[in-house]
Amino acid sequence: MLTKGAVEDLIFAHLSRGRGEGRAMPAARKVPELRKKVFLSDLELRGLYRPGSRTVTVPADAILSPLSVDWLDYDGVEVLRA
């Protein structure tokens, strides 16, 4: 019977075949568009937001977390992409 660890090792060995180094390639190297994107979590966006302001400025290529979009919409804050 195979244990969970043994199954993970088999899957990793199969997926890492042909890479030479035996380790997974970072996602940014696999998909070049990921290097350009910035993900902003709720906590990070709250750091950018100034209380009393009706706008918050984020990078043009930023991806906003669904939670942050919800509270921005609820509070009537407009997102400006720079």
Sorting pLDDT into bands at 50, 70 and 90, what band is 79?
very high
Residues 27 and 55 in one domain: no
Count Cβ atoms below 10 Å from residue 39 Cβ, excluding itself.
10
Residue 55, domain extent: 37-82
Residues 44 and 74 in one domain: yes
Please provide the DSSP assignment of 34-66 as one string: GGG-EEE-HHHHHHH--TT-SEEEE-TTEEE-H
Specify the higher pLDDT residue, 21 or 79: 79
Residues 16 and 1 in one domain: yes
Q: Residue 5 corresponds to which amino acid?
A: G
pLDDT tens across 26-73, in order? 555 655 555 566 888 888 898 888 888 999 999 888 889 999 999 999
pLDDT tens across 30-42, in order? 555 555 668 888 8
Q: Residue 34 corresponds to which amino acid?
A: L
Count Cβ atoms below 10 Å from residue 49 Cβ, excluding itself.
19
What's the total number of domains in the chain? 2
